[in-house]
């Protein structure tokens, strides 16, 4: 079960994200309201020394983290209440991660991801609302979120980059534990000037998905693209130069299609199939699967083609993992996900539409 995000005490929330001295001073002052001054100073230093030196990282603190940095059991509740505006620090949240179902009758693979650890994220938002650079951020963000949240949430976030004008589902719980992680990721890096004012409210309220949607809409809205150009980009996109860039090229096409449809232009299934084959069909890594897709009967839908090509593109975008056991494990999980989601149709692997 997902846990609602716990809001920070206003004194902490108002501090600039990476102003460590101010954060340390605020922690000491807050703790002194509940503990002796010497103890308050000791606990503030313990948090800073253990890497909780930005507002984004403090947002992710849970009861297990307080124990890990040496805060006594009898003091943890008071320390948590000082940080989280009168509420105890949350317990580590176990969120079930449902992997997509493969062939009919197969059971979804359920994994649990502990949401207590601080996410490692070193990707900057672009210095200007550039759609191409935003798409690169979206691809990296989806990959990262798959490892720290649920598959469904990672895909929901990525959809903001490819279809920014699609509304967020009405039943989505804004400010939930996954939204809280996304806000922490955004705060780990400096938010550029063009974006800071747009999402100030969303950041304060831990509405990460909504913040990303606002930024993506801004990036597409300021792009000077004529109707003719956007239709051409959707129907006859240029070929991708390198296989490792195929994921970005396909994602950019998704965004072009979204922009085209938002302007009221029609794209039929033939246009969509032809466009996708044109992006990657000439690459050696895709020639065999494209040939099989073209000859498959019944003819695969554009969405099936997109999902199938996307899986291959995602794998090709992975860096060399031979030297890193951690990355090798991630690649193994990714390969397992593909095996579990593939469906054999006419001798080729296609996803459920």
Domains of the chain, start order: 10-83 (1.10.150), 94-221 (no CATH), 227-351 (no CATH)
Q: What does the longest C-alpha to C-alpha distance in the chain come to?
A: 75
Phi, psi of 94 (to 5 degrees): -100, 115
Q: Determine how many CB atoms are found less than 10 A away from the CB of residue 63.
A: 19
Question: Which residue has tokens 């302007």?
Answer: 263
Look up residue 49 and give its two tokens.
Answer: 């020394």
Q: Would you state the pLDDT for residue 134?
A: 87
Peptide bond into 329 cis (omega under 30): no
Instruction: Reduce the DSSP state of residue 352 to 3 states and report it.
Output: coil
Nearest-angstrom CA–CA distance, 312 and 60: 34
Q: Would you state the pLDDT for residue 198?
A: 84
Q: Would you state the pLDDT for residue 93?
A: 47
Query: Cβ(89)–Cβ(66) under 8 Å?
Result: yes
Closest by CA position to 117, among listed 181, 191, 207: 181
Q: In Å, what is the CA distance from 40 to each residue of 26, 49, 145?
A: 11, 14, 35
Q: In Å, what is the CA distance from 168 to each residue of 153, 163, 164?
A: 11, 10, 9
Phi, psi of 205 (to 5 degrees): -100, 10
Q: Which residues in the chain show pLDDT less than 50?
A: 1-6, 93-119, 320-324, 341, 343-349, 351-353
Nearest-angstrom CA–CA distance, 63 and 111: 22
What is the per-residue pLDDT across 185-198, written as a single tens digit (0 to 9) for each?
A: 888 888 888 888 88
Residues 6 or more apart whose Cβ sits within 8 Å of residue 226: none
Instruction: Reduce the DSSP state of residue 267 to 3 states and report it.
Output: coil
Closest by CA position to 62, among listed 25, 112, 115, 9: 115
Q: Would you state the pLDDT for residue 4?
A: 38
Nearest-angstrom CA–CA distance, 218 and 337: 33
Query: Cβ(104)–Cβ(94) under 8 Å?
Result: no
Beta strand residue intervals within the chain, DSSP E:
94-98, 110-114, 342-345, 348-351
Q: Would you state the pLDDT for residue 75?
A: 93
Query: Cβ(312)–Cβ(286) under 8 Å?
Result: yes
Q: Would you state the pLDDT for residue 110?
A: 28
Q: How many residues does the chain have?
A: 353
Q: In Å, what is the CA distance from 35 to each residue of 27, 41, 61?
A: 12, 10, 19
């Amino acid at each position: 079960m997902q846990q609602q995000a716990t809001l920070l005490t206003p004194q902490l929330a108002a501090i600039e994200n990476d102003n460590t001295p101010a954060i340390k001073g605020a922690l000491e002052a807050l703790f002194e309201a509940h503990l002796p001054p010497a103890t308050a100073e000791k606990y503030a230093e313990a948090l800073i020394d253990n890497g909780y030196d930005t507002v984004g990282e403090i947002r992710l603190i849970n009861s297990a983290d307080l124990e890990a940095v040496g805060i006594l059991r009898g003091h943890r509740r008071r320390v948590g209440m000082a940080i989280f505006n009168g509420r105890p620090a949350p317990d580590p949240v176990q969120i079930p991660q449902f992997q997509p179902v493969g062939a009919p009758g197969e059971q979804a693979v359920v994994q649990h991801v502990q949401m207590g650890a601080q996410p490692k994220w070193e990707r900057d938002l672009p210095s200007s609302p550039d759609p191409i650079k935003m798409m690169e951020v979206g691809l990296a963000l989806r990959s990262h979120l798959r490892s720290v949240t649920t598959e469904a949430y990672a895909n929901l976030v990525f959809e903001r980059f490819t279809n920014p004008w699609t509304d967020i589902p009405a039943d989505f719980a804004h400010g939930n534990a996954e939204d809280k992680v996304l806000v922490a990721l955004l705060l780990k890096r400096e938010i550029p000037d063009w974006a800071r004012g747009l999402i100030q409210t969303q950041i304060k309220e831990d509405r990460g998905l909504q913040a990303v949607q606002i930024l993506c809409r801004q990036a597409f809205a300021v792009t000077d693209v004529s109707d003719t150009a956007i239709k051409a980009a959707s129907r006859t996109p240029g070929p991708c130069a390198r296989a490792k860039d195929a994921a970005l090229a396909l994602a950019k096409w998704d965004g072009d299609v979204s922009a085209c449809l938002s302007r009221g232009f029609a794209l039929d299934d033939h246009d969509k199939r032809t466009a996708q084959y044109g992006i990657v069909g000439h690459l050696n890594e895709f020639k065999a699967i494209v040939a099989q897709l073209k000859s498959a009967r019944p003819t695969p839908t554009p969405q099936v083609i997109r999902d199938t090509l996307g899986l291959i593109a995602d794998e090709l975008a992975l860096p060399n993992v031979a030297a890193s056991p951690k990355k090798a494990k991630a690649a193994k999980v990714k390969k397992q996900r593909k095996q579990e989601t593939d469906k054999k149709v006419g001798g080729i692997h296609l996803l459920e539409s």
